[in-house]
Amino acid sequence: MSTGSFIAVEGPIGAGKTTLSTMLSQKLNIPLLKEIVEENPFLGKFYDNIEEWSFQLEMFFLCNRYKQLEDTTTKYIQHGRQVISDYHIYKNLIFAQRTLSGVKWEKYRQIYHILTGDLPKPDLIIYIRADLQTLLKRIKMRGRSFEQNMDTAYLEQLIIDYDHAMASLAESEPDTKIITIDGNQIDFVTHREQFDLIVSEVKEYMK
Ligand SMILES: Nc1ncnc2c1ncn2[C@@H]1O[C@H](COP(=O)(O)OP(=O)(O)O)[C@@H](O)[C@H]1O
Ligand SMILES: Nc1nc2c(ncn2[C@H]2C[C@H](O)[C@@H](COP(=O)(O)O)O2)c(=O)[nH]1
């Protein structure tokens, strides 16, 4: 695999992952792997009753991402073709460690490690950090009905968990380059020059 062939964009809910990965995919002419959200049959139920639906939801996300990354390996990565995704498989653990507990968490954790051990790891992670106010504003602007009453404590915890997860990935996967973007300050949607700076940084790494 050549350097920079697999790029993943990460960050908490509403940080701008889908937006940035779509813009980069178009600008750099790289195929985009997008998360299944609207078609997810458990997401609405999950936000109504986390305790009841978390195992089904986490397994659904895990199986979908597993399938996508398995296909990505044969379609792109094995042929040295570049690809960009709006998630890193590790996000399954970030969420599941908060939404599952006891036996369910233990079962999930084991299945996660069995399924993901041989999946391709991104060469580059673009991590969008953003604070609670920014995320709430963007979640509201995006307007998905099932996300509008999200518990702010859940989102706040995820912000902290994401920081820990990125630090942990930096340690456990030292070959993966991580570019961190301050999503509160950098507005790559309305300020073209800020997007261009991100593109330059990505291109620099992909050389
Ligand atoms: N940098 C930004 N500045 C302003 N609005 C943004 C920015 N990034 C994303 N948005 C808007 O915020 C909402 C959430 O973005 P999205 O890309 O769906 O986030 P994520 O995929 O991380 O959940 C969308 O309505 C999007 O248009
Ligand atoms: N419990 C989990 N929820 C997840 C997971 N991945 C995504 N999500 C939720 C968060 C949003 O409501 C929606 C889309 O995610 P974005 O971050 O792209 O906005 O799905 C997960 O693994 N577990």
Is pLDDT of 122 > 80?
A: yes
8 Å CB contact between 16 and 128:
yes
Pocket perturbation via mutation, ligand 2, pick of 35, 64, 69, 88 by most ligand atoms within 8 A of CB: 35
Question: What distance in angstroms lies between residue 135's CA and the mean position of ligand 1's atoms?
Answer: 9
Rounded to the nearest angstrom, the gap between the alpha carbon of residue 171 and the centroid of all alpha carbons in its chain is: 18
Is pLDDT of 168 > 70?
A: yes
Question: What distance in angstroms lies between residue 169's CA and the mean position of ligand 2's atoms?
Answer: 19
Return the structure tokens found at 125: 């992670």
Pocket perturbation via mutation, ligand 2, pick of 66, 95, 149 by most ligand atoms within 8 A of CB: 95
Reduced to 3 states (helix: H, G, I; strand: E, B; else coil), residue 164 is helix
Lowest mean pLDDT among 35-39, 105-109, 133-137, 142-146: 35-39
In this prediction, residue 39 has a pLDDT band, given cuts at 50, 70 and 90, of confident
* Tens-digit pLDDT profile for residues 172-203: 999 999 999 999 999 999 999 999 999 999 99
Question: What distance in angstroms lies between residue 107's CA and the mean position of ligand 1's atoms?
Answer: 33
Count Cβ atoms below 10 Å from residue 67 Cβ, excluding itself. 11
- CB-ligand 1 contact for 22 (6 Å cutoff): no
Question: What confidence score (pLDDT) does residue 3 get?
Answer: 53
182 is a catalytic site residue: no
For 21, the enclosing helix (H) or strand (E) is helix 17-28
Ligand nearest to the CA of 38: 2
In this prediction, residue 1 has a pLDDT band, given cuts at 50, 70 and 90, of very low
Count Cβ atoms below 10 Å from residue 135 Cβ, excluding itself. 24
Distance CA 52, CA 45 (A): 9
Burial of 8 (0-12, 13-18, 19+ CB in 10 A): buried
The ipTM estimated for the assembled molecules is: 0.98
Q: What is the mean pLDDT of residues 21-34?
A: 96
Distance CA 18, CA 14 (A): 9
- CB-ligand 1 contact for 121 (6 Å cutoff): no
Task: Look at residues 132, 125, 139, 138 and name the one whose alpha carbon lies nearest to residue 189.
Answer: 138
Question: What confidence score (pLDDT) does residue 37 get?
Answer: 87
Burial 88-122, CB ≥16 within 10 A → b, else e: bbbbbbbbbeebbeeeebeebeebbeebbeeebbb
- Cα 91 to Cα 10, 34, 78, 95, 169: the distances in Å are 8, 14, 23, 6, 11
